[in-house]
A = this chain, B = another copy of it.
Amino acid sequence: MISFTEENYLKAIYHLIEQEGEAVTTNAIAEKINTKAASVTDMLKKLSDKKLINYQKYQGVTLTPKGEKTALNIIRKQRLWEMFLVEKLDFKWDEVHDAAEQLEHIKSDKLIEQLDKFLNYPKVDPHGDPIPDAKGRLQIQKSHLLSKFKKNDVCIMTGVVDHSPAFLQYLDKSGITLGNEIKIKEIIEFDRSLQIITGRQKTIFISNDVAKNILVIAK
């Protein structure tokens, strides 16, 4: 049996590996999960004993196949619950985090299977992140940062990098919405800020910092 806490560690490790592309450090996990490095070391030993991670002192951590499968199952549950909250209970995309963080730990195969069906087998969650299937298979999206595009490019918004409520609320306020078309009208050389035209035909200005947190695919 895998505990609530172990699940949170596995998910954190998964995301850090995804982000960094290599073995993750004790400190990185501690920061992500809001604990101290000493606590992380203890947990790494435990996860290693359970064959969920590959761990050697001072060498950082990767997930075993079993660990990755477990992590993906938690992520599947988290994203399905987020979808439920937004689609059925009228949560905004910036409001789902805390509840989903708890709901992802509910243990019931039937529940998650039926939830998936009830939501009509969604492929992505409210933030555009892909939802792993029951076997932990993930459909990789080949989206890019909006900041990488050029003047007059037209693209479709598919996701966000930063998931913080502050950023999501800023996008709402600016009318930048998942699935919408974005056309780059102008790029200011000086600071690489952008002038874009959103779905609702409004021209808005966004900083390069913002553009680096918006995922799109070329149209």
- Residues on A lying within 8 angstroms of B by beta carbon are 85, 88-91, 95, 98-99, 102-103, 106-108, 110-111, 114-115, 118
Interface contact B108-A99, CB-CB below 8 Å = yes
Interface contact B111-A85, CB-CB below 8 Å = yes
Copies of this chain assembled into the complex: 2
Highest count of chain B CB atoms <10 Å: which of A88, A99, A111, A114: A111
Complex Cα gap A89–B106 (Å): 15
Chain B residues contacting A102 (CB-CB under 8 Å) are 106-108
Task: List 3 A-B pairs, minimum CB-CB distance, nearest first.
Answer: A89-B114, A99-B108, A102-B106
- Are A106 and B108 CB-contacts (below 8 A) given A90-B114, A118-B89? no
Chain B residues contacting A110 (CB-CB under 8 Å) are 91, 95, 99
